[in-house]
Structure 1
Amino acid sequence: MAINEHKLQRQFSARKIILPVLLGLSVVGYMLYRNYKPEQLETLVQASPLWLGVTFLVLFIRDFGYIYRIRYITERALTWKQSFNVIMLWEFASCALPSVVGGSTVAAFILYKENIPLGKSIAQVMVTALLDNLYFVLAVPLVLLFAYDTAMPELGALSPAIRSSLEFAFLVSYILVTLYAGLMSYALFINPKAVKNLLIKISMISFMKKWRSNLFNHANELLIASQHMRDKDFSYWAKASISTAFVWTARYAIIGCMIAAFTQLSLDDHLLVFSRNLIYKVVLMMSVTPGAAGLAEISFPAFFGMFLGGFTTVIVLLYRLLTYYLYLIIGAFVFPRWAARVFSKSKKHDQTGEPVTEEVAAGDHI
């Protein structure tokens, strides 16, 4: 996808931010209208301060882990403030773009505008994507060992058909993520040219014509990333992997901590919530709405309603406030200041008449 100042600002326009917010809040509003009871307010007031504190702590740990990881993966080329801006903009992009697109499409451009060479920025984003996918590939078998029979939600009278469809979709998603992670690992560390040639051959198939440009670009990006990452030592990959596991475990644990603030959960219940969260996130990946707005709110009761009953709708709202709307608000403050800084800097460079290198020129066409 070609990215430049104009297209980035268009992606983060007020209209594109307001629409998913209205969609998500409309769904929650309707659910509250259908399910609200006066005693729910009493339950909200009686929330456990300890578990609410743990929820915010886990949220902070997750974000700090992301900030630490991007600073480490970029080999401290970013300051702590720059790392914070990059992660908040990355989260902002994930919230403002459809889940099937995701924030990674603009992440390399964001790193490039923070004065990281284009080749390195592509490599570093691909490394984070690889580590994220590998966590999912390894975590799914582990959690399903503990909660296989109950990991899929019951969906009332429609449960047999929908449950089968959900299981099939989850299985297909898991296989695709596994294949993609395997292909990326092979390309980055073993034989990038072979994978590049494979992707180019696939792009030549007639029905793949629509994605030919994307496949060709991805093939080149894998080759670039491999050149930058194959010489990293064991310590680099160990720390990057540990921080990834740390971040994603916290990300999936947030719902369990929040639910525990309003009802008693055993250790087995926490494991069940964790396992269902993995499947819940796969469902949200299929959404075509920005940040899975609407689908996230509708699907939440099916996965976690058994723990909360009629209070589920309130938790949906709190959960989305902390993990979705919060980052839209932060991003709305960070993005204008960040854009003013990095793009004004680029204009100053242009006005000096300094020659633009080939790598920089490519920066507007990621």
Structure 2
Amino acid sequence: MSINQPASQNKLLNGVRPSRIVYPILIGIAVVVYMLVKEVDGTTLSLIEFSWHSLFWICVALIMMVIRDLGYMARLRILTDGTFTWSKSFRIIMLWEFTSAITPSAIGGTSVAILYLNKEGLKVGKSSAIVMSTSFLDELYFILMFPLLILFLDVNQLFMTDAPGHSLWLESLLYFALIGYLVKAGYFIVLTYGLFWNPRGLKWLLLWIFKLPILRKWKQGANQAGTDIIESSKELRRKPFWFWLKAFMATFWSWTARYWVVNVILLAFIFQGYSITEHVMIFARQLVMWIMMLVSPTPGGSGFSEWVFTKYLGDFLPSAGVAATMALIWRLISYYPYLLIGVFILPKWIKKHFRK
């Protein structure tokens, strides 16, 4: 496939060059500083007390992120039938997360992930099938979890807040979330149909994707990739139920650990005695936040994510200033580390696979 053409590779890798971390960092810091200057005062600082208790729960939050990444790595090993080692899986996941962190949330790192897998030894078709399988499993998690949470929680509480001036905005979230859920459900149906029933239709979708400007130079080779996907789809359809159950469980633990980071951060600074119901509500609101973050035009949702955090999770915190501080801590734990790790790994990876 023409994915090996140097010009095409350089064009794609130029989109994920390490220098791009400047934009999300500047945007995120600018928004957080604005919120902190506007909201933080002496009263806010008195409410936030760093102690050994805080340090313990911050460490737990970091452990949640480790569990998240281990889940992704385990899933990648399962989907490749153990072809990838843990170290190789770690490298790919970090590159994947770095790409997602420096591109708009709606784009993510999926397109470049195919290149990462291909350069680590998989055929393009199999790489495409694995990336689409990860999308299938991610969407399956959301498709199952969101209605379950809606079923067991108070919908009004999920989409309403006591924050002055934001009730109407949050009422509209119900419709926004439903539309987002329907879009995800439609995407999930297309993936399921393409991977397990009609891979030729998925091949057509791949050809359509390769019409995008960033991938257009590879469209001639996309046809061969589509053929490889058809063959890989046959292999995926032969996989036993246990194979998919293991892959989904890895996905489940990864996403669940990701969402629990916020809950743990709030436990680090106990402002009130959170009940189990409130923890589940905080967890559920993060699923809704994820829908909103998908439409963010900024790299990795930078700036937008911090703002949504303060407005949507502010109910569980004593003041807007505390919410802004918690948003900063949340992003320092769950977002910025991938920028730093990616800057360290990506140049070495490019040198190894592209520069002889």
Same fold, TM exceeding 0.5? yes
Matched, 1:343 2:347: no
Residue 136 of structure 1 and its aligned partner are, at CA, apart by 0.3
Amino acid across the alignment from 1:343: F
Q: Is the 8 A contact 2:200 2:226 kept in 1?
A: no
Identity %: 36
**Count of aligned residue pairs for this structure pair:** 337
1:136 counterpart residue number: 142
Uncovered stretches (5+) of structure 2, i.e. residues with no partner: none
**Counterpart pick for 2:167 among 154, 159, 162:** 159
Q: Is the 8 A contact 1:88 1:327 kept in 2?
A: yes
Residue 99 of structure 1 and its aligned partner are, at CA, apart by 0.5
Please state whether the residue corresponding to 2:132 is helix, strand or coil. helix
Residue 269 of structure 1 and its aligned partner are, at CA, apart by 1.0
C-alpha separation in 2, matches of 1:95 and 1:124? 21
Please state whether the residue corresponding to 1:288 is helix, strand or coil. coil
Q: Is the 8 A contact 1:119 1:228 kept in 2?
A: no
Uncovered stretches (5+) of structure 1, i.e. residues with no partner: 204-208, 348-366
C-alpha separation in 1, matches of 2:175 and 2:9? 40
1:350 counterpart residue number: none
C-alpha separation in 2, matches of 1:251 and 1:153? 23
2:107 counterpart residue number: 101
2:29 counterpart residue number: 25
2:259 counterpart residue number: 252
Q: Is the 8 A contact 1:123 1:224 kept in 2?
A: no
Please state whether the residue corresponding to 1:48 is helix, strand or coil. helix
Q: Is the 8 A contact 1:123 1:228 kept in 2?
A: no
1:120 counterpart residue number: 126
Amino acid across the alignment from 1:18: V
Residue 113 of structure 1 and its aligned partner are, at CA, apart by 0.5
1:45 counterpart residue number: 50
Q: Tell me the alpha carbon deviations over residues 164-191 of structure 1, each in whole angstroms, 9 at most, x when there is no partner.
A: 4322221111011111112211221123
Please state whether the residue corresponding to 1:157 is helix, strand or coil. coil
C-alpha separation in 2, matches of 1:210 and 1:63? 30
Matched, 1:294 2:303: yes
Q: Tell me the alpha carbon deviations over residues 318-346 of structure 1, each in whole angstroms, 9 at most, x when there is no partner.
A: 111111111101100011111111113xx
2:249 counterpart residue number: 242
Structure 2 counterparts to residues 1-366 of structure 1, below 5 A: 4-42=8-46, 43-46=48-51, 48-147=54-153, 148-154=155-161, 156-160=164-168, 162-193=169-200, 220=226, 223=230, 225-263=232-270, 264-308=273-317, 309=319, 310-344=321-355, 347=356
Inter-CA distance 11–130: structure 2 relative to 1 (3 Å threshold) = same
Q: Is the 8 A contact 2:114 2:131 kept in 1?
A: yes
Q: Tell me the alpha carbon deviations over residues 205-251 of structure 1, each in whole angstroms, 9 at most, x when there is no partner.
A: xxxx989x899969938645523412212221111011111111111
C-alpha separation in 2, matches of 1:60 and 1:122? 26
In the superposition, the TM-score normalised over structure 2's length comes to 0.86
